[in-house]
Amino acid sequence: MRSNICGVGYTYLIKKKQKKINFSAILMSKIQSNTIQLCRIFFKIL
């Protein structure tokens, strides 16, 4: 459930930003892994 919330939020942000910025695939994968890690830490605090 928690990871699902992270995924939905992440995909929403990417779709929103894709209109303005066109990321490369390598950069995208790095951002994705970092976002998931931050999300896990965030939910551990909660």
Contact (CB, 8 A) for 10 and 36? yes
What the block records as the tokens of 36 is 């998931």
Question: How is the chain split into domains, by residue range?
Answer: 2-45
pLDDT tens, 3-46?
Answer: 566 666 667 766 776 655 555 666 667 777 787 787 777 777 65
Contact (CB, 8 A) for 32 and 10? yes
Spatial distance between the Cα atoms of 40 and 46, rounded to a whole number of angstroms: 10
The dihedral built from the CA positions of residue 22, 8, 12 and 42, taken in this order, carries a sign that is negative
Task: Provide φ and ψ at 33, rounded to 5°.
Answer: -65, -40
- What confidence score (pLDDT) does residue 41 get? 75
